[in-house]
Structure 1
Amino acid sequence: MPQFSRHSRHGRLLIAVGLSAMLLGTSACTRIRTHQGYQVDKLLVDSVQPGIDNRASVEGTLGRPSFVSQFGEQDWYYVSRTMRSLAFSNPKPVEQTVLRVRFDPAGNVAAVDRMGLEQVARISPSGDKTPTLGRHRSLFDEIFGNIGAVGAGGMGGAGGGSNTGGGPNGS
């Protein structure tokens, strides 16, 4: 019987090591959820009223904006985004709220607009190359294509006519 207990201890140890490895393996595949930007408090956002609040009261209620518009009216933007990713994959936006507070010329709140995830632009690159306009040249064209082009007419070197006069019409 003592030999049986020795094997059962060894078996229990193997089971414990196997379970811990399995738990570590599944924890590496858990979803990672991160939040970026402004923490939206619905009660505070709803308290900002057009015609009643001004820049100072909005800053006192919501805090400093994420960014201010650079052109036109000085709109304030509060951006909040929740991202989710799986282990080492690229994060994807799950929720997004962009709060835009528009002010009139006197500095009073004119409107409060909310935009969500529908405003996120989805860009999918095509392949591993950036498409460009122009001519397509091979490696040999790139290496040997400029041989003899130095000083060719119209290239800024020798050749080509010169204007010998002093004025714009050669006079």
Structure 2
Amino acid sequence: MRHGENKQASRLVKLVAATVLLVVAGCSEIIRNHGYIPVEEDLQTLTVGVDTRGTVEDLIGKPSSSGVLRGGDWFYVGSKMRHFAYKKPQEVDREVVALRFSDDDVLQNVERFGLENGRVITLSRRVTETTVRDVTFIRQIIRNFGRINVSEALGG
């Protein structure tokens, strides 16, 4: 009978160990990226005043968002979401790269915006003319992007 008791105890220990491993694995943090932001090296290949909408598309690709004013400027939007166990996903970083084009589709400006303490900040700007007046649109993109409930959008 002792052999049978040892076998049951061994199975119980294995079951408890497997359960602990599953619980620990389920509680690990997962970071997911949403959207697309071109890397800085690719943005540096763009030449303000020279590149056109077509050459920009060839170099870094076309974004999923574009503006409705002034010929459709391009906006690359990306965010990082932290998923932890059963908790609601939390956005930990958000960034927007705005490419401004002239009426004849020549690149006028490359701007990178981020979010710091809930406020929109300019991370970098290469410009032939100032476009600060359009920052409110960028703020709307950055603020509203965080309101998307990913689990509801995916049907879960």
Query: TM (normalized to structure 2)?
Result: 0.68
Q: 1:39 to 1:101 in 2, by over 3 A?
A: closer
**In 1: Cα distance, 2:72 partner to 2:4 partner:** 77
**In 2: Cα distance, 1:105 partner to 1:79 partner:** 23
Q: For residue 93 of structure 1, give the secondary structure of its aligned residue in structure 2.
A: strand
Which residue pairs with 1:103 in the alignment? 101
Q: For residue 5 of structure 2, give the secondary structure of its aligned residue in structure 1.
A: helix
Which residue pairs with 2:88 in the alignment? 90
| Number of residue equivalences | 122
**In 2: Cα distance, 1:121 partner to 1:23 partner:** 38
RMSD: 2.3
The range that moved more, 88-97 or 61-70, is: 88-97
One-letter amino acid of the structure 2 residue matched with residue 91 of structure 1:
P
One-letter amino acid of the structure 2 residue matched with residue 68 of structure 1:
S
One-letter amino acid of the structure 2 residue matched with residue 99 of structure 1:
V
**Runs of 4 or more off by more than 6 Å in structure 1?**
none
- Point out the structure with the larger strand share: 2
**In 2: Cα distance, 1:97 partner to 1:73 partner:** 22
Q: Is the 8 A contact 1:73 1:102 kept in 2?
A: no
Q: Is the 8 A contact 1:40 1:80 kept in 2?
A: no
One-letter amino acid of the structure 2 residue matched with residue 31 of structure 1:
E
**In 2: Cα distance, 1:58 partner to 1:26 partner:** 45
**In 1: Cα distance, 2:38 partner to 2:107 partner:** 19
Cα deviation digits, residues 101-125 of structure 1 (max 9, x gap): 011222111110001123344999x
Q: In terms of Rg, which structure is larger?
A: 1
Unaligned runs of 5+ in 2: 121-141, 148-156
Cα deviation digits, residues 72-110 of structure 1 (max 9, x gap): 352110111111121232222222221100112221111
Asked if 1:66 corresponds to 2:60, the answer is no
Query: TM (normalized to structure 1)?
Result: 0.63
Which residue pairs with 1:28 in the alignment? 26
The range that moved more, 71-80 or 4-13, is: 4-13
- Point out the structure with the larger helix share: 2
Q: 1:99 to 1:39 in 2, by over 3 A?
A: closer
Q: Is the 8 A contact 1:82 1:93 kept in 2?
A: yes
